Amino acid sequence: MSRRIPYGRQSIDESDIKAVVDVLRSDFLTTGPRVDGFETVVAEYCGARYGVAVSSGTAALHSCMHALGVGEGDEVIIPPMTFAATANCVLYQGATPVFVDVDAETLLVEPAAVESRVTARTKAIIAVDYAGQPCDWDALRAIADRHGLKLVADACHALGATYKGRKVGTLADLTVFSFHPVKHVATGEGGMVISDDDTLVDKARVFRNHGISSDFRSREKAGAWFYEMVDLGFNYRLTDIQCALGISQMRKLGRFLERRRGVAAKYAQAFAGTAIVSLGLREECEHAYHLYVVRVPGRDRVFRVLREAGIGVNVHYVPVHLHPYYRQILGTSEGLCPIAEEAYGEVLSLPMFPGMSDGDIDFVVSKMVEAVG
């Protein structure tokens, strides 16, 4: 039996294709009505006031750092069990990422570890809702308030998750989503900043458009040619083509989440009582399952066996502080975050996407059980 099962993939249907084709026949390929439409749909879904659509999750993180005024001499606390972009956005601003360890069961940032690394230079905390499970946001909020820090949620894994009945998108001062094809909603490349804060949102909007204080359509509406660059920004705009796909995808997010949770339930049941250990779940959270992460003995061997069987297992993540670039510029090394480093040797991400069939799940389960023994 031969199968090819990736670890993640987009689900695109005819309505998505039609939405994109409709834009191609319209007046705006970029900075048109679909951008506002997509921002509104995502913000409303989260129960937040504003969305700022940008060209990637990474651009969204960078926009947050800029909006918060993070700069040279500042420190931003982050966990190492994340994609490099979470830390890179701090470096883009000339500030210093400070790595703190995670909880052994959930691999979510440990609030007590966060507080122990706060200094007079700390400006913000970026917490990552790893795999799709929200962090302990009440504890993080209390720490942020005690020390006058801003809270950013890197929620690229967690669109649709909840914490104590509150939606991800309302838990931090700024929340970031990605619309890369392996994430919950695909726009090709794409990202969004979600917030209730007018001032921060205005700064992010200007930042994504070169630092110019009005966009093309607002000038058109005012019948004016005049524009001013009031800040140094980037071209981080998301196109109408992509936003149309995003709007269409958002209509299916409920179904996507339901299937992801269904896949997770099947994995959890199948691995109970085996040497394949699923990550811990927090009772007060509804998980969004961007990833299904297990810990296994002999991970490198299991990885090879599964890959040879055509199953696209993956490893999330190389702890960021162990990347050669970070070792070189920050002098970080093994021993800085021992729990994350130990987890890195054991974690395996199994295929997890809405288009998985029951047969795909059974195939992954049987190969895993066979490989781990």
Ligand X SMILES: *Cc1c(COP(=O)(O)O)cnc(C)c1O
Binding residues for ligand X, per CB under 6 A? 56-58, 82-83, 85-86, 128, 154, 156-157, 178, 180, 191
- At residue 323, the 3 state secondary structure works out as coil
The token duo for 274 is 């085996």
Query: How far apart are CB 288 and ligand X at their closest, in Å?
Result: 12
The first and second tokens of residue 240, run together, are: 């109408």
Q: How many CB atoms lie within 10 A of CB 96?
A: 18
- Shortest Cβ distance from residue 134 to ligand X (Å)? 13
Q: Nearest distance from residue 108's CB to ligand X, in Å?
A: 12
The H-assigned helical ranges of 148-211 are 198-207
Distances (CA, A) of 11 to 61, 119, 249: 25, 44, 9
Least distance from ligand X to the Cβ atom of residue 316, Å: 8
AA letter at 263: V
Q: Which is nearer to ligand X, 147 or 282 (CB)?
A: 282
Burial letters 171-190, b for 16+ CB under 10 A, else e: bbbbbbbbbbbbbbbbbbbb
Smallest distance, Å, CB 89 to ligand X? Answer: 9
Q: DSSP readout, 105-148?
A: TT--B-HHHHHHT--TTEEEEEEE-GGG----HHHHHHHHHHHT
Closest to 247 in 3D by CA, of 193, 289, 185? 185
Nearer to ligand X, 54 or 201 (CB): 54
Nearer to ligand X, 246 or 271 (CB): 246
Q: How many helices (H) and strands (E) does the chain have?
A: 14, 13
Query: 97 vs 270, which CB is nearer to ligand X?
Result: 97
Closest CA to 257 of 54, 45, 37: 45
- Looking at beta carbons only, is 86 or 239 nearer to ligand X? 86
Least distance to ligand X, CB of residue 161, Å: 13
What are the backbone dihedrals phi and psi of residue 367, each rounded to the nearest 5 degrees, phi first? Answer: -65, -35
We find the least distance from the C-beta atom of residue 129 to ligand X, in angstroms, to be 8
In sequence order, the 6+-apart residues with CB closer than 8 A to the CB of 260 are 132, 184, 288, 289, 290, 352, 353, 354
**14-24 and 240-250 helices, crossing angle to 10°:** 150
Looking only at the bridges linking them, the beta strands covering 162-163 and 285-286 are antiparallel
Query: In this structure, what are the phi and psi dihedrals at residue 61, rounded to the nearest 5 degrees?
Result: -60, -45
In the residue annotation, 183 being an active-site residue is answered as yes
What is the distance between the alpha carbons of residues 264 and 142, in angstroms, rounded to a whole number?
31
Kindly tell me which of 98 and 126 has the beta carbon lying closer to ligand X.
Answer: 126
191 vs 367, which CB is nearer to ligand X? 191
Nearer to ligand X, 82 or 122 (CB): 82
Which of 123, 150, 167, 183 is catalytic? The answer is 183
Q: How far is the CB of 59 from ligand X (least distance, A)?
A: 7
Q: Which positions are catalytic?
A: 183
